[in-house]
A and B are shown apart, each in its own frame.
Chain A
Amino acid sequence: MGTALVITSGKGGVGKTTTTANIGTSLALLGKKVCLVDLDLGLRNLDVVLGLENRIIFTIVDVVQGRASLKQALIKDERLPDKLFLLPAAQSSDKNALTPQAVREIVTQLKASFDFVLLDCPAGIEQGFENAVAGADGAILVTTPENAAVSDADRIVGILEAHHLEFGPRLIINRIRKNLMNQGDMMSIEAITDHLSVPLLGIVFDDDAVIATANAGTPVTLTPDNPASQGYRNIARRMLGDSVPLMTLQEETPEPAIAPEAPKGFWARLFHR
């Protein structure tokens, strides 16, 4: 039985979809069986980021409405055979085609055959958000070091608390620009984690390659020595229980590629590897 995690942020444009694609890919690279579920009905783009947009035949709405089986709708990622799958969102149907109940049923089925089910949540706190949270056992909160994003993340934590998920939310701070943060022109990592009082899962640096690779339909994690890629890989390893130190903010020193192996700790218990 796998774990379903919703990837959410409240604010749009902070990198939910990119994060979903890259964490999913990293987990698959580490040998886990992962299913990514795009729940952004009408504005899907997880398929584009993964470069799978041409392979969509059936969508999650087809599954819910009985036009296709779950197996038929799943798209295999050939780069990571038998490890990474996508359940795409519908682009045409209206956003009320899904209900929390329907999402919960599909996720329960997926959890039976996958280690991780990552739910890409739409921006906002409306129906689409409710659908995504309904299926999840835990949440990964994505924010950027900006007041607006942190404020929305705060709102989301409050709503998540009311949903009483099995695992409390974990935080990813995305799009960190080292020079701005070092100059103090951007909220620091400590300030954000203190304010939100949510445990930090990882940080990801802003990097041109993230945009370039997303445009090319290849998640940046497939490029091992990129700093953003390492951020995502570290997050995936922490989810599996490894103790990986945070990447340094100093601009010259690159992060050690492999951190020392640590005994299974909190994360291992949390994500039951």
Chain B
Amino acid sequence: MENVFLRGRNDGYEIEIPAERNFEASLQELATLLEKVRAEDQSTREIHFKVRTGQRILTADQRQRLNDLVGRFDHFQILEVTADVMDQQTVAALLKTKAFHFVPQVIRSGQEVFYEGDVVLLGSVHQGATLMASRNIYVVGNVQGILHAGFPDNSDAIIAGDLKQAAQLRISDLVEIVADRPEISGQQFSYINDLHNLATAKLTDLKKIKPKLFQQLEEQ
């Protein structure tokens, strides 16, 4: 029995299908193993299996066949199938959301620019222009237009920097007109508070108000 491993756990069984083994052979062996399990345990309680596939991601077809095999036995159920690896698309998407974009250019009236991830604005956002990011926006340059952090619905995002010239700050689904909020001046950041309102605080309070983000930034 080397093409598949079955281990008992507190909360059920763990099936390991080694990546280097032939999948057909693994399935065959698994069938005999499952029959053994059935023979030992005739009760009607649900028996859960977690499947680990090591350095291989099962194709949809392979998963289907695995499900069919386990489904042949009453009260046997696959809880999850996990691999130690991720496919490239998933990784690329993940990396994108983690990315920091440095934006040195001028975003002009009528232009709308969107970045997946964090944005550090070194250039300027002119009146009538919009800069959007799926995560946070850090402003070094000048803003007279609209900044939209956490686009479209990330309420954890913040906008940091000197924003008193900006037209509007938007985070997730909230909008703030800067002219109506005289407290937005100098180096500060805007965030969504527990009441789901846009709030403003000094940058020195970032650690207190957004401890998770502070830690992430510190680690980078």
Contact = CB atoms under 8 A, between A and B. Distances in A.
Residue among A157, A158, A161, A195 facing the most chain B CB atoms (10 A cut-off): A158
Interface string A134-178: 000000000000000001101101110100000000000000000
Contacts of A195: 126
Interface string A194-238: 010100000000000000000000000000000000000000000
Contact of A152 (B106, B109, B111, B129): B109
B127 A151 contact: yes
B108 interface: yes
Contacts of B186: none
Contacts of A154: 108-109, 126-128
B110 interface: yes
The number of chain B residues touching the other chain, given as a range, is 10 to 19
Nearest to B144: A195
Nearest to A125: B110
A229 to B, nearest CB: 32
B111 A158 contact: yes
Contacts of A158: 107-111, 129
B142 to A, nearest CB: 9
A161 B108 CA distance: 10
Contacts of B111: 158
Contacts of B109: 151-152, 154-155, 158
A167 B81 CA distance: 58
A155 B128 contact: yes
B198 to A, nearest CB: 26
A154 B127 CA distance: 9
A145 to B, nearest CB: 15
A255 B107 CA distance: 36
B36 to A, nearest CB: 68
B14 to A, nearest CB: 56
Contacts of A157: 108
Interface in B56-111: 106-111
Nearest to B128: A151
A108 to B, nearest CB: 29
Contacts of B107: 158
Contacts of B126: 151, 154, 195
A31 B127 CA distance: 42
A155 B129 CA distance: 9
Contacts of B129: 158
18 contacts: A151-B109, A151-B126, A151-B128, A152-B109, A154-B108, A154-B109, A154-B127, A154-B128, A155-B108, A155-B109, A155-B110, A155-B128, A157-B108, A158-B107, A158-B109, A158-B129, A161-B108, A195-B126
Given A158-B129, A161-B108, 7 more contacts: A151-B126, A152-B109, A154-B108, A155-B108, A155-B110, A158-B110, A159-B110
Q: Which 5 A-B pairs have the closest CB atoms?
A: A158-B108, A155-B109, A154-B109, A155-B110, A158-B111
Interface of B: 106-111, 126-129
